[in-house]
Structure 1
Amino acid sequence: MGKELKHFAHKSDVIRLEALLVSGGIYLDIDVFVTRPFEPLMYHPTTLGMEASPDSRRTELEPEGLCNGVIIAANGSEFLKRWRTTYETFDEGNWAGHSVVMPWQLARKYPSEVQVLSTRAFFWPLWSGNEIEKVHETDEYDFTASGQFGYHAWESLAMKYLSNLSPEKIRTVESSFNKMVRPYIGPNDDVIFRKWKGDKTD
């Protein structure tokens, strides 16, 4: 459409739309952890979740936009077609303009084409304030009791925690995040982890 996509994140924003338009399915950012089966969400042609604005947390239905970190869509989704077309006005300087703000604008204009889930479905706790610290330094938040379908780990902001994880720490350190992922630690993961870190003794 004559708009150059320079940053890999913006290129990825478009590629995920293109892929889903062709094949349909579920797109997840690499730092999304699924906490519940998605089957209850599969009946609508397109499903997205709200991303709350950091200054409107008291009102759940005041989102910053619809985050494209999780997209559930049928192939040929009308909503995704509209979304892709809006890249005619893409602005490199508006970081989340087409990935978060634009789908929310479209959802309000074409509400029958998209199922909008609350901020608590995929993108809670949020990235702002001390929410990331709470998830990794305390066990106050219960991802199972919340009923949410997934957790976006806000990798770029949480890397100081994520990069220091190991199977042993996940098993022994009590945090909301570790309790969420602990069931997925396998019996051989300690050996695999040590080899990945360069330990050749096993």
Structure 2
Amino acid sequence: MTGRRWLMVGGAAVLAGGALSGCNSSTAPAGTTALYVVAADGNFRSISAALQVAPAGEVIEVRGGPYAERVVIDKPGIKLRGTSAILDGATVNGGRGIGIHVTNVADVEVSGFTVRNFERGIIVQNATGAVIQRNEVHSNNSKTAGTAPPLAPGVDLFEGLVLLASSGAQVTDNVLRNNGHDGLMITGGSRNNVIRGNRMLDNGAQTVPTQFG
């Protein structure tokens, strides 16, 4: 892309330091073995509805979108896997809030999502062993929002992806672009996280990971 430079972050670096809900069907939709499928032809119409009933350790497949909702993952072992899945905050209370919030939980996966138009894109907070991979987190800079308090010292609005007081995460092969502040922030005593193969472009505050604490 002329005039722009992509930055590869990592190598093998180790850093220390809303919608209608579907039914809970016991039968997998056609074309998949997963019991929890969020799609127009799936057995759920919203991600939050599937998360509410899925047990710990379950795989939730999400297809297409956009989905106008904020997603909170607080069950251990949930694997949220997207296929061309889009989470869009533009019509969610003026873009306020966090797109995907992984909080106080272990061994969660979030992969294959586009997360856009929130105050903050993906936040991994007080979590262990999270896998955040192959997501595109962009345009989290909602100017109609801007009233949320900091999550922690140094964690402001318009962040793309934040590891906050989390350890043992794998953050790989994500695209973090056009977010209003940091593309990637690691803070709050986060440690022993693997950061590899991520690309950052045109974020407001930086082009390399910011670390606090």
TM-score w.r.t. length of structure 2: 0.22
RCO comparison, higher one (Cα < 8 Å, 6+):
1
More helix per residue:
1
Query: Which has the higher Rg, Structure 1 or Structure 2?
Result: 1
TM-score w.r.t. length of structure 1: 0.23
More strand per residue:
2
